[in-house]
């Protein structure tokens, strides 16, 4: 049996774990799962014995095989686990859009004859599947809703997108980053003269896309041919509506 995942809605698949009585060198030991490689794909024979004949349980035991490396034997060091999500491939390894179980061969009692068709007499079934998971929102959303047959995050922290994978249009003063180690994005100071700003790598902050005849990285000046109206506050939409007058003597 192979447990597989997809990250592109079932277009392609990659293995999460192999289950086989004879792993034949397919990364057989759990020792391959270390703090440096918590995303190792292994083959286990733990669930491939002849008994029980029914009522058995097969697990992909993330908690006891992988999380314990960081939580410790008392499962208490949550801060170290969160750090591992940021510094290793563990979070990416557990991220998926689809999960698939491939049942390759039936379990037999060893009395089948090769090439005789006896394998059709051996069969098994899965009575129940339990999967624990949550929406992938880059840690910028607590909830998600079903939209167009997909789950869409209810984004927080001034983020937007299906997975909260970008900043809101007016909150690009810092580059977007995922997760709890991200300082919450804050808005560009455009003096209410822009709906959008874009992060500028050279300047190191967001540059406003100015409206209302204003210009400058913060929309704090009037365009050529316009002058500010001192009777209005700078954030007024008509602040730069005055035009120069040509007086001829």
pLDDT band at 246 (very low <50, low <70, confident <90, very high): very low
- For residue 96, list its beta bridge partners: none
List pLDDT tens digits, range 42-84: 999 888 877 777 788 999 999 999 999 999 999 999 878 888 8
CA distances from 36 to 20, 44, 80, 85, 235 (A): 25, 20, 13, 12, 52
User: When comparing pLDDT for 25 and 52, which is higher?
Assistant: 52
pLDDT band at 18 (very low <50, low <70, confident <90, very high): very high
Percent with pLDDT over 70 in the chain: 86
pLDDT band at 150 (very low <50, low <70, confident <90, very high): confident
Q: Report how far residue 182's alpha carbon sits from residue 193's, in angstroms, rounded to the nearest whole number.
A: 27
Positive or negative: CA dihedral 136, 88, 8, 170? positive
Are β-strands 226-227 and 221-222 bridged in parallel, bridged antiparallel, or unpaired? Answer: unpaired
Residue spans of the domains in the chain: they are: 2-108, 188-249
- Say which CATH class 2-108 falls into: mainly beta
Q: What pLDDT, on a 0 to 100 scale, did the predictor assign at position 168?
A: 95
Percent with pLDDT over 90 in the chain: 47
- Phi first, then psi, for residue 66 (nearest 5°) are -125, -50
Within 10 angstroms of residue 97's Cβ, the number of other Cβ atoms is: 14
We find that the CATH architecture of domain 188-249 is Ribbon (2.10)
pLDDT band at 36 (very low <50, low <70, confident <90, very high): very high
- Please tell me the pTM assigned to this model: 0.65
What is the number of alpha carbons within 13 Å of residue 112 lying toward its C-beta? 16
Q: Is a pLDDT exceeding 50 seen at residue 247?
A: no
- For residue 32, list its beta bridge partners: none
- Phi first, then psi, for residue 19 (nearest 5°) are -125, 120
Q: Report how far residue 58's alpha carbon sits from residue 153's, in angstroms, rounded to the nearest whole number.
A: 31
Q: Report how far residue 179's alpha carbon sits from residue 163's, in angstroms, rounded to the nearest whole number.
A: 11
- Per-residue tokens: 122: 């051996």
């Amino acid at each position: 049996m192979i447990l597989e995942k997809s990250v592109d809605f079932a277009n392609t698949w990659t293995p999460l774990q192999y289950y086989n009585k004879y792993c034949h060198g397919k990364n057989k030991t759990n020792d391959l799962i270390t703090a440096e490689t918590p995303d190792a794909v292994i083959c286990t024979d733990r669930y491939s014995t002849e008994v029980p004949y029914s009522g058995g349980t097969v697990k992909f035991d993330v908690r006891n095989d992988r999380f314990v490396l960081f939580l410790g034997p008392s499962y208490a060091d949550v801060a170290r686990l969160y750090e591992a999500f940021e510094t290793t491939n563990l979070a990416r390894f557990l991220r998926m859009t689809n999960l698939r179980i491939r049942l390759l061969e039936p379990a037999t009692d060893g009395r089948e004859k090769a090439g005789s068709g006896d394998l059709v007499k051996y069969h098994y079934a899965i009575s129940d599947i339990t999967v624990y998971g949550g929406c992938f929102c880059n840690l910028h959303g607590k909830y998600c809703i079903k939209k167009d047959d997909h789950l869409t995050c209810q984004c927080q922290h001034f983020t937007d997108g299906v997975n909260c994978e970008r900043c809101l249009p007016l909150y690009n003063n810092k580059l977007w980053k995922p997760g709890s180690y991200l300082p919450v994005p804050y808005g560009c100071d455009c003096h209410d003269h822009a709906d959008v700003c874009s992060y500028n790598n050279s300047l190191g902050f967001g540059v406003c896309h100015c409206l209302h005849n204003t210009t400058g990285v913060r929309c704090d000046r009037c365009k050529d041919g316009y002058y500010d109206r001192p009777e209005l506050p700078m954030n007024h939409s008509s602040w730069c509506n005055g035009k120069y007058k040509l007086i001829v003597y």
